[in-house]
Amino acid sequence: MALVIVFLCVVTLVVLVTWARINTFLAFLLVSTMAALLLGMPVNKIVGSINKGIGDTLGSLVIIIVLGAMLGKLVANSGAAQKIAAVLKVFFGPKYVTWAMTITGFIVGIPLYYNVGFVLLIPIIFSVAYNYKLPLVYIGLPMLASLSVMHGFVPPHPSPTALVVQFHANLAKTFIYGIIIAVPAIIIAGPLFAATLKNLKSNSVIAQPQEIAADKLPGIVNSIFSSLLPVILIGITTLIAKYTGNHPRIHDIALFLSDANMAMIGTIFIATYSLGIAQHKKVSEVMECYTEGVKDIAMILLIIASAGILKQIFVDSGVSTQIAVLLKQMSLPPLLLAWIITAILRLCLGSATIAGLTAAGIVYPLTLNNAVDVNLMVLSVGAGSLFCSHVNDTSFWMFKEYFGLSMKDTFRSWSLMETLVSIIGLIGVLCINMML
């Protein structure tokens, strides 16, 4: 019955947004309340779950998204994104531009949390698409496929790292296996799949920057450095923190600076100078640019917050645990069962991280009585956590709103890409398991 209710709620949400044209934020509030009542939550607990869903979601994302939008607007308006696009155009040409975007996403995706990478790389995606006169989805999906795969499969991202701890796996082995599986998943779900979406039309709310004269563009080193500064800061400080365990003060400072929020704050101050003041812009102009950047993503923030409400209702009602326990009774190989349980939780909860961590607690006993490689169990759960991102996933709405797509086209592009990544990941896990 719980599964029927979850399915009914998801269908209702899709109908409200697509057919009834209800504002997505309001639709989420309505469906979340309906789900809570149908799942039998006490009425005095529903408001608390709504507040917690909004608070937990925005609390972990709002600084990153807002500062990322500010940086993105500055990268676009200063001409840094245009400069990077021009260099990519010279090196790769129109024929191989999607592969350039894929490689960029792969490199950036190793140290960077998905949501941070998304908002930081959006200006580059838009600028490249604008300069090449190519569809946004065709240019952007390969890069985002890389980010998503790295987020789900490869430590040090939160979910795979936490799963390594929960399954008592080997971090180095998991990383190596993860990279082996990630490469074909990225290639197939990225540039190859994107080639089928060239005719997808988008109507993005993010304004295109005006073309700037070539002699007034910032230098390529400055453009790349300022755009990827959060990646650089997080990468360097994480390494320092890792190898300074014997020096508590240095270790603590490095750990503090490696936090994505702190890296973004530092980046904004540096970029204000490197892409603003150093490019002969007034401070007031840079601040106005930041204000415009935040305006662009105001509704996106609300939609992300409301998606967090529905997730929290499913968690607090206990429906995710009920469904997972039912699936656990199925007689299937542990690696496949782990993927199925995680995929179902992903469909119900939306959050890849929460789906993965919830599934880990359920399938861990399977590793005690079966000859299963725990490193591959981490990756099986990671692959399942990426399955079929849809309306209860914040990433679904970020992609839809930034790229200005209809619901149908978002399912056709984003949801299908995530499903491909998940299935290819499972196939990779099973293949490696056969060879061991």
Sequence-separated (6 or more) residues with CB below 8 Å from residue 191: 98, 99, 101, 102, 142
**Tokens encoding 192:** 């190859």
The residue extents of the domains of the chain are: 2-435
Q: Rounded CA gap, 165 and 160, in Å?
A: 9
d(CA 99, CA 143): 9
- Are 142 and 98 spatial neighbours (Cβ–Cβ below 8 Å)? yes
Count the Cβ atoms, other than its own, within 10 Å of residue 347.
21
How far is Cα 257 from Cα 280, in angstroms, rounded to an integer? 29
The pLDDT, as a whole number, for residue 186 is 95
Residue pair 100/227 in contact by the 8 Å Cβ criterion: no
Q: Which of 119-123, 126-130, 282-286 has the lowest mean pLDDT?
A: 119-123
- The 10s digit of each residue's pLDDT in 331-349 is 788 899 889 988 988 888 7
Two structure tokens written together for 139: 């240019």
How far is the first Cα of the chain from the last one, in angstroms, to the nearest whole number?
40
pLDDT in tens, 144-185: 999 899 888 887 666 787 788 778 888 788 888 999 999 999
Q: Read off the pLDDT band of 16 (50, 70, 90).
A: confident
User: Is residue 206 scored above 70 in pLDDT?
Assistant: no
Provide the pLDDT for residue 113: 65
Answer whether residue 413 shows pLDDT above 60.
Answer: yes
**pLDDT over 80 (residue 328):** no
Q: Could you tell me the CA-to-CA distances from 308 to 50, 113, 401 in Å, in that order?
A: 8, 18, 16
